[in-house]
A and B are shown apart, each in its own frame.
Chain A
Amino acid sequence: MLGYALRRIVGLIGVWFVAIVLTFVAVQFVPGDPIVAMLSDQSGDRALEARLRAEYGLDRPLWVQFVDYLRNIANGSFGLSFRYAQTPVSEVIAGGLLITPLLALVSISIAVMLGVLLGVFAAVRQNSWADTAVILVLVTGISIPNFAMAAFLVYVFAIQLGWLPVAGWGRLDQMLLPVAILVIPPTAYIARLTRTYMLEVLSRDYIRTARAKGLRQRLVIYRHALRNTLVPLLTTVGIIFGGLLSGTFVVETIFNIPGLGRMAIESIFARDYPVTMTIVLLFTVFYSLINLIVDLAYAALDPRIRLGQERGT
């Protein structure tokens, strides 16, 4: 197990390095020029452009810029922001650093609990009206785009009823709507998967055996069926987490939450490349870490995986 974990962690570092190279290369191909963006209508003053280019080090050969980029990652400053005068990227993003992971983790926890409950509920009542109702709600939840749902919920709960604030961050009541929006799609997804896996498990022989020996329904479901449903479900959590992270871009912008997603959007529009690149890297790190955790948990739960891996190498 330890060997497996170590190999995965080493692999992760490789992934991160590739991400660093890719973000650097991608920025070189983006149309538009950060210096021109800074000057906007006044661009055309060649001397001023040249001065700014030199100040930000953009006049140096690409490989020198890349080495500099690596050095800035290593010293934790991530370079200077283009938009904020004399401010290192680390300072620009510090405020949002914990907000987005917090939002994502809270949302995924709620989504897993809610999704599994709904899925089990629907599965054990297969083809009843309750099952149909749950499926209908789930399909609706997946189908309505998050920005439309957000506008609707804000209109009802904030403007009409006045129960919740429209936007902002810092108080618990300000978290409710954004988390709700983030929770809906993964809940629906998890519930559908749970229902499918559960139905499959319920048709297995050992369930019939459990029932035959007179176990109560509740025990059959939660002790025998659910556990075996959770294992395949776990692998999908990593994928869902990726979707959640991208959902934060929209939700943070609409609800005015100063997290990394909103900062990413702002930095893209302002051509603040160092900030954009850093946020892309951070999202890569979050995503790969969650996947690592999922894989390790999976390996811990299911010995076939880690043994298979060890035998294979």
Chain B
Amino acid sequence: MNRPTIRAMLRGTAMAGVVAFSASAVAAQELRTNIPADPGMIDPITYSELVAGDILDNVYEGFVGIDAEGNVVPALATSWEGLDGNLGFRFTLREGVTFHSGRPFTARDVKFTFEQLLIPGNRGGLNARYLDPIVGAQAVKDGETTDLEGVVVIDDHTLEVRFSEPDVLFPIYPFYFMDAGVIEEHGEDWFNRVSAGTGPFRIEAWNRGQEVVLSAHEGYWGGTPQIDGVRFVIVPTGDTAVSMYEAGELDLVYAADTAIRRILRDPQFDDERITAPAAQIQYLGMNGNVYEPFQDARVREAMCLSLDREAIIQGIYEGAAFPLYGQITPGVAGYNPDFPAMPHDPDRARALIAEAGYPGGEGLPPVKMQTTEPNRNLNLYLASQFQDILGLPVEVEIVERGVFIPAMNAGEVALFHWGWSAGFPDALYFLSQVWYGPSPYNRARWQNDAYDALIVQAQATADERERYALYHEAERILIEDFGTCGTTMRMQVAVKKPDVEGVALTPFRFLHFGDVTINR
């Protein structure tokens, strides 16, 4: 028996008791908000999930950030220019930035962060995947070296990143740069003791199961926050979070799906509600490889014209959604505000299905529509629409999420309604991952050479205006061929006490809380 472990366990328990029972009244200028679970991690290297992101966005920063509307704005890089042939970037980094430790932020920290993400055994999380185009990344991944050859420190505030293939989006990837000196000072498990970012808040404490506490970073380059800190209270049930808000135990609540209806309906929240569309496309997947009639564009068009988005929004989402017609959402660079709306047109749908050789649905074999339990109602409604309007026999099958997603990604699901959330604010995230032919996440297996060529071209087009024009063209091809149709966008809903100012709900959840003020 390993005694130290048991003892550590008991000590942990005893300490949790002490901490818990001495926890007193909340500090006057502290923002109290909810998170649905413990973060999976609080370090920027293994970072790989949503809750951790909500916290770390306040603690760490990358080359760029976003503003309240979701636009990219410079953060730790003030400017950058492309290298020859788009094979890299030269970054000018912000001066006068300090880490939570007080050490200055320099180009060496960026290189260090990249290396840490790649070194095998570090379990580099979400941000590691953005490093693939860098020269020498594979060698670090393979453990041959820890020096990332393609990242060259020119001086303290100038950095060159060289690629083996073009990647024009590199500057906007949401990295979390960390203090290169922290491991030497605090050891390999430094993140249990300190945070190593440049963000407006530092991590003060993580009391597992209870809360994560942040405190203001004096000397933050964007101005020391005006509040003392942020307390993320772990509240697994959405209803409990809203009740805590009502009772004044929380200042700001990001509503879980289950609590949205209560917030939208109750007039007491009328002046305290904040809403924003989520940077997530939702779409109809029609896989012609699995269900042959979907190979006919007329059948796909008929499916799309059967959709009644207004009915879905009111009936299924109870108002907490927006219509989506294309495959790019607002707040993501490259969004086309003039993208034409698609009508709900049952008559034309019926005509099309007849034209395709299935009048009144005659001759259409049954199709299986798969989904998960939480989406049962929406899918049953869609199935009944397809059945009523087109005469398409749809069988809805509810499956375990862990079975459904791999099957869908493997291209084995004939008909589905699902979504894709943007990991960074550029439309290529949707266009190249969900609808590009070779992408492993092209779940409906729609493939179009002209579309694929535009994506490849966009990936090598550094000029933004030119690139966005390519996006618009690609999106037009996708929708005009009825490769899919956009359905709805989720509405994010939050409530905020009137004495709290400076909270911004962006298409990517909350902006960091560095500009928040509380007048209590």
Contact = CB atoms under 8 A, between A and B. Distances in A.
A158 B43 CA distance: 36
A92 B206 CA distance: 12
Given A41-B420, A166-B243, A55 B123 contact: yes
A105 interface: no
Interface residues of B, number: 53
A90 B400 CA distance: 29
Nearest to A46: B440
B249 A76 contact: no
B236 to A, nearest CB: 6
Contacts of A90: 5-6, 8-9
Contacts of B38: 84, 266
A186 to B, nearest CB: 24
B13 interface: yes
Contacts of A195: none
A127 B239 CA distance: 43
A262 B9 contact: no
A243 interface: no
B341 interface: no
Contact of A42 (B3, B246, B410, B441): B441
B2 interface: yes
Nearest to B45: A85
A265 B236 contact: yes
Contacts of A53: none
Contact of A266 (B17, B20, B23, B37): B37
A90 B12 CA distance: 10
Given A75-B2, A86-B123, 11 more contacts: A76-B2, A76-B6, A85-B41, A91-B8, A91-B9, A159-B246, A165-B249, A166-B249, A171-B23, A258-B234, A262-B209
Contacts of B102: none
A77 B208 contact: no
6 contacts: A31-B402, A86-B46, A95-B13, A95-B208, A168-B233, A266-B37
A256 B13 contact: no
A275 B489 CA distance: 35
A29 to B, nearest CB: 12
Given A43-B405, A44-B406, A84-B40, A258 B209 contact: yes
B6 to A, nearest CB: 4
A92 B401 contact: no
A165 to B, nearest CB: 6
Given A88-B5, A91-B12, A262-B209, A170 B23 contact: yes
Interface stretch (A32-40, A226-234, A303-311): A32-40
Question: Of A41, A55, A162, which is in contact with the most chain B CB atoms at under 10 Å from its CB?
Answer: A41
Contacts, number: 146
Contacts of A66: none
Contact of B9 (A33, A38, A94, A255): A94
A171 B401 CA distance: 38
A180 to B, nearest CB: 16
B37 A94 contact: no
Contact of A254 (B237, B400, B409): B237
Nearest to A49: B406
Interface in B392-443: 400-403, 405-406, 409-410, 420-421, 440-441
A77 to B, nearest CB: 5
A247 interface: no
A55 to B, nearest CB: 7
B240 interface: yes
Interface in A60-84: 74-77, 83-84
A85 B207 CA distance: 16
Contacts of B233: 168, 256
Contact of B5 (A31, A77, A155, A256): A77
Contacts of A38: 48
B454 interface: no
Interface in A182-232: none
A86 B188 CA distance: 12
A88 to B, nearest CB: 7
A74 B3 CA distance: 10
A242 interface: no
Given A85-B40, A168-B249, A44 B210 contact: no
Contacts of B123: 55, 85-86
A48 to B, nearest CB: 9
B401 A32 contact: yes
B279 to A, nearest CB: 14
B453 interface: no
B247 A170 contact: no
A271 B209 contact: no
Interface string A139-174: 000000000000100110011001001111111000
Contacts of A270: 37
Given A32-B400, A76-B2, A44 B410 contact: yes
A266 B236 contact: yes
A36 B402 contact: yes
A31 B20 CA distance: 37
A32 B403 contact: yes
B16 interface: yes
A82 to B, nearest CB: 10
Contact of A159 (B6, B243, B402, B410): B243
B402 A33 contact: yes
A98 interface: yes
Interface string B16-55: 1101110100000000000001101101001010000000
Question: Of B41, B243, B403, B420, which is in contact with the most chain A CB atoms at under 10 Å from its CB?
Answer: B243
Nearest to B52: A85
A96 B234 CA distance: 14
